[in-house]
Structure 1
């Protein structure tokens, strides 16, 4: 089995696109994830995985609080900024981000936003799996940005 074979098989299923963000020592840090999953309602927990080579990993591990932005269908450009390592300087430059020192960054215009704290972090060979206790959740839209077969699906968020 090759990595490409697995990606091709899994790629048939659309996934929601989210940005996990925190306040790092040098400013806001964040990473695009397609692995966000609801684990339980009681206690409220979600999970996501990020590559152990991801630049924001150390900041996310150390952060006292995280925000998880579920992107809206019209936020393709934001997703592209966070998926392209050459564009890290642009990630939080937009006026659409609310950045304060007392809470994690929050993006305006998202479909939904969660706040939480990392409850446990499991290291696998290639990824870190975060389990997050959700402390707040807000829904603002009816659809979210999806990713399928290597492409973002803008519009109404349906596959």
Structure 2
């Protein structure tokens, strides 16, 4: 640790105070993972980003994928978030086993059914950032839940939560 580096324990404790929407990112394979690092980057041109640990088993698939799908989960999809965050399992098989459904778009990108919103994006740039890679992506299509009262799943202080309306 350099003299200017923050203690990693303190860094984690501070970041636990930040609430994040929960998304599942999928790529052809099918491969998918849960992320809380998703954010919008730019409106002109439209860009979004998410990060992936370089040591993660999903990283080679994400790096090789031309298209990714970012699924914003609803507040009743905590089980989906947990499945896609579990290492060492076939996440799509487990999702299906527990009653979840999904299908592939014409380009082979796996799409989860019943989510709040989906952005299908073309990976535009990969940026090395410590032990992670930041994927900056350009949305090429989108769909969203028609019910505007539907709420996103949120992660805060190590817990999945819902927003009060």
TM superposition score normalised by structure 1 = 0.88
- Name segments (4+ residues, structure 1) moved above 4 Å: none
1:116 matched to 2:121? The reply is yes
Question: How far apart are residue 67 of structure 1 and its match?
Answer: 0.4
Change (3 A) 1:158 1:130: farther
Whole-angstrom distance in 1 between the partners of 2:144 and 2:107: 22
Tell me which of 42, 51, 54 is aligned to 1:52. Answer: 54
Q: How far, CA to CA, are the matches of 1:100 and 1:113 in structure 2?
A: 12
List alignment gaps of at least 5 residues for structure 2. 1-5
**Structure 1 residue ranges without an equivalent (≥5):** none
Q: C-alpha distance in 1, partners of 2:26/2:64?
A: 12
Q: Distance in 1 between matches of 2:52 and 2:108?
A: 21
2:37 to 35, 38, 42: 35
Name 1:74's counterpart in structure 2: 76
1:15 and 1:148 in contact (8 A); partners too: yes
Query: Within 2, Cα distance between the matches of 1:116 and 1:100?
Result: 13
Q: 2:105·2:111 contact (CA, 8 Å) conserved in 1?
A: no
- Counterparts of 1:80 and 1:4 in 2: how far apart (Å)? 23
- Maintained 8 Å contact 1:65/1:103: no
Q: Which residue of 1 aligns with 2:92?
A: 92
- 1:75-106 Cα offsets, whole Å, 9 max, x none, are 101111111214x21x1121511135623111
Q: Is the 8 A contact 2:37 2:51 kept in 1?
A: yes
Match for residue 3 of structure 2?
A: none
Q: Retained in 2: the 8 A contact 1:146–1:158?
A: no
How many residues get paired? 152
